[in-house]
Amino acid sequence: MKLYLDTGSVKEIREAASYGLVDGITTNPSLVSKEGRDFKDLLLEICGIVDGPISAEVVSIEAAAMVKEGKELAKIHKNIVVKCPLIPEGLKATKQLSSEGIRVNVTLCFSPTQALLAAKAGAWCVSPFIGRLDDISSNGMELIRQILTIFENYNFTTQVLVASVRHPQHVVEAALTGGHICTMPYSVFQQLVKHPLTDNGLQKFLSDWEARPSTNA
């Protein structure tokens, strides 16, 4: 499973990328707006840090405008993946952009039928938001399982990007289910490596090493 960071923070991206384990980045208008920077400049800097797919979202809501905006985003760097919302106009734009060889991440997916339409439109990936479904007492991970089954049934090449990840257990469940990509906030990424028994065990090893008998004559 590919691990992406869901952020617009260059600082977070640099820190996570230092592990050598970050495969890509997802951004959205909310994350980018927090940075207070020119969008193109921010994307170029991110592309210089992580050599992988970098999702950049359109903010238009009409298909023609989405296509125009998407083409401009795709010109910024070869790693840019254009994000389009899962609305009728977004599907139209996805069909057009994908037909011209531009990778599209269809975002804000909340149902199997939406994912099916995104795949038929030629989406490079679709982003089901599992955390937001959990928030309304729906089963976000069940949606991932349903989408994966549908895609396998019909040999769709569209990848399932598990989004709106809230905690490490979401990452575990996504991996067990077979999600192709999992994107997460930096705070969740940090938690993946943490375990109190690891910390306690290491401290015990180091304490015992320091307390070993001297071998000096």
Residue entry with tokens 């991996």:
175
Bridge partners (DSSP) of residue 90 are none
> Quick one: which of 158, 154, 159, 188 has its CA closest to 171?
188
**Catalytic-labelled residue, pool 34, 75, 78, 83:** 83
136 has a pLDDT exceeding 80:
yes
- The single-letter code of the amino acid at 70 is G
pLDDT in tens, 82-104: 999 999 999 999 999 999 999 99
Give yes or no: 71 in active site. no
For the cut 70, the answer to whether the pLDDT of residue 216 exceeds it is no
Mean predicted confidence (pLDDT) in 110-135: 98
Q: What is the pTM of this model?
A: 0.95
Tell me how far apart the alpha carbons of residues 55 and 125 are, in angstroms, rounded to a whole number.
Answer: 10
Taking phi over 0 as left and psi of -120 to 50 as alpha, with beta for the rest, 155 belongs to left
C-alpha distances (whole Å) from 1 to each of 6, 13, 32 are 15, 19, 25
- The pair phi, psi for residue 56, each rounded to 5°, is -130, 125
Q: What is the pLDDT of residues 145-158, one digit of tens each?
A: 999 999 999 999 99
Q: Which amino acid, 188?
A: V
The pLDDT of residue 91: 98
